[in-house]
Each structure stands twice: as structure tokens, then as C-alpha cells.
């Protein structure tokens, strides 16, 4: 049986496409560029180009992480620790409203003595204290209650100069950061910012 090839032309003509001149020029330019490379350079290029690209990307990502302000980075840890203390029902290791019970509890557990006070008369009742971990350090955590709101206060030594209060809002929580008398303080709660600032003033006075 003889097949007339001329009958196949219209049937498959729609499947034929002519490449645009620009594509041809780009392909030829790439071929000429590769052909112009010395053999030794071509071996190096093909073997190490992917590793070099990964190395440059790693440096860029590291630089990006290092440029994130430290307080903003730690703020995420503060919120996470606060939420975890509520979910795990691990708000306190020592349960007491007596500052003379809570403060000595930290002795021998951390290498500094946090200031512990009860402010029940001002509306902020001391619930107790616990150890926590923040910014790669073990810190003291005090828990207070105002109405139905729980406030966590994280305290750690800091050799830096005193700072003004820094207010942040993160994932529905209000935070305040400050540094005074070589101690750093983080306060976090779903309490409104004004009342949280009132407690901050009491804690760092």
C-alpha cells in the first residue's frame, strides 16, 4: 500500500512553528560564549558554579538575619514563652504572693537576684515566679494578675545603659521592653498598653 505523503502535509501543518529570530540569536550567543571559554575555566565553571551560588546565597541570608533588631527577635520569644506558660499551666514554679518567699526561691538557681515585689494594693497581685529561657539565657520570670489578665515579667542582667520604654504589639499581645540599673525587663500580656506601662513603672522603680 502506497501512502501519498502530500496528503499528510495539511493535516500536520498546524503543528509546525518557526522559532522567532530572537531565540535563534540568544542560543547562538550562548554557544559562542561557552565556546570562547578556556577549557580549564569551563571545567571550573561547570563544577563549582552551583556551590558558589549556594555560598553567596548563604552569606546573604546570614546578613539578613543579623540585621533583624535584637529586641524584635527576642520579642517573638517573649510572646512564645508567655503563651507556653499559659497553655502548659506552668505559670509558676513557686506559688506565692509573698515577695519574701518568691525572691529567696531564685537563690542558687540563677546568678543574679531579681527584684520581687507584690503590687496587690495597686491592682497587680504577685502570683509567683519561675525559671524561663530567653535570648539564650536562663532568666527570672515573675507572674502578676490584673483583673483576669495574666502578665509575665522576664528579668535578666544586662550591662547596657538605661533605655526608655519600648512598646510593641505582637500577635495580639502588648509588650514593653526597658533596661534600668543593668537589668533588662520584658513585660507581656493581653492587658491594655496603658495598664501594662503602669506595672512596668512599679517593677523598675
The predicted structure's pLDDT at residue 89: 77
Give the range among 5-9, 145-149, 153-157, 175-179 with minimum mean pLDDT: 5-9
DSSP assignment letter at 56: H
Q: What percent of the chain has pLDDT over 70?
A: 65
pLDDT at 98: 96
Compute the distance between CA of residue 133 and CA of residue 127 in angstroms, rounded to an integer: 19
Res 151: pLDDT: 98
Closest CA to 131 of 110, 113, 115, 112: 110
**Mean pLDDT, the chain, whole residue set:** 81
* Res. 147: pLDDT tops 80: yes
pTM of the full predicted structure? 0.66
Integer Cα distance of 10 and 118 in angstroms:
93
Average pLDDT over residues 56-66: 50
Q: Which of 55-59, 134-138, 195-199 has the lowest mean pLDDT?
A: 55-59
Are the beta carbons of 178 and 200 closer than 8 angstroms? Answer: yes
Measure the CA–CA gap between 147 and 124, rounded to whole angstroms.
Answer: 8
Domain ranges of the chain: 5-66, 70-204
* Domain 70-204 CATH class label: alpha beta
Q: What is the pLDDT of residue 66?
A: 44
CA 120 – CA 97 distance, rounded (Å): 9
What residues form DSSP beta bridges with 125? 145
pLDDT category at 199 given cuts 50, 70, 90 is very high
User: pLDDT by residue (tens digit) across 71-129?
Assistant: 688 999 999 999 999 987 789 999 999 999 999 999 999 999 999 999 999 999 999 99
Q: What is the pLDDT of residue 62?
A: 47
pLDDT of res. 118: 97
Amino acid at each position: 500500500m502506497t501512502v501519498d505523503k502530500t496528503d499528510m502535509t495539511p493535516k500536520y501543518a498546524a503543528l509546525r512553528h518557526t522559532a522567532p529570530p530572537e531565540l535563534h540569536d540568544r542560543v547562538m550567543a550562548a554557544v559562542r560564549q561557552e565556546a570562547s571559554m578556556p577549557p580549564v575555566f569551563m571545567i571550573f565553571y561547570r563544577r563549582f558554579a552551583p556551590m558558589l551560588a549556594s555560598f553567596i546565597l548563604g552569606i546573604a541570608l546570614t546578613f539578613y538575619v543579623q540585621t533583624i533588631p535584637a529586641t524584635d527577635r527576642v520579642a517573638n520569644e517573649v510572646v512564645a514563652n508567655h503563651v507556653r506558660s499559659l497553655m502548659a499551666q506552668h505559670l509558676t514554679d513557686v506559688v506565692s504572693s509573698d515577695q519574701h518567699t518568691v525572691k529567696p526561691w531564685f537563690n542558687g538557681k540563677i546568678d543574679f537576684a531579681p527584684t520581687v515585689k507584690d503590687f496587690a494594693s495597686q491592682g497587680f497581685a504577685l502570683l509567683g515566679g519561675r525559671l524561663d529561657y530567653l535570648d539564650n539565657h536562663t532568666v527570672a520570670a515573675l507572674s502578676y494578675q490584673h483583673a483576669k489578665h495574666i502578665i509575665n515579667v522576664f528579668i535578666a542582667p544586662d550591662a547596657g545603659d538605661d533605655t526608655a520604654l519600648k512598646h510593641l504589639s505582637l500577635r495580639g499581645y502588648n509588650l514593653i521592653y526597658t533596661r534600668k540599673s543593668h537589668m533588662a525587663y520584658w513585660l507581656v500580656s493581653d492587658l491594655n498598653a496603658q495598664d501594662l506601662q503602669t506595672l512596668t513603672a512599679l517593677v523598675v522603680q
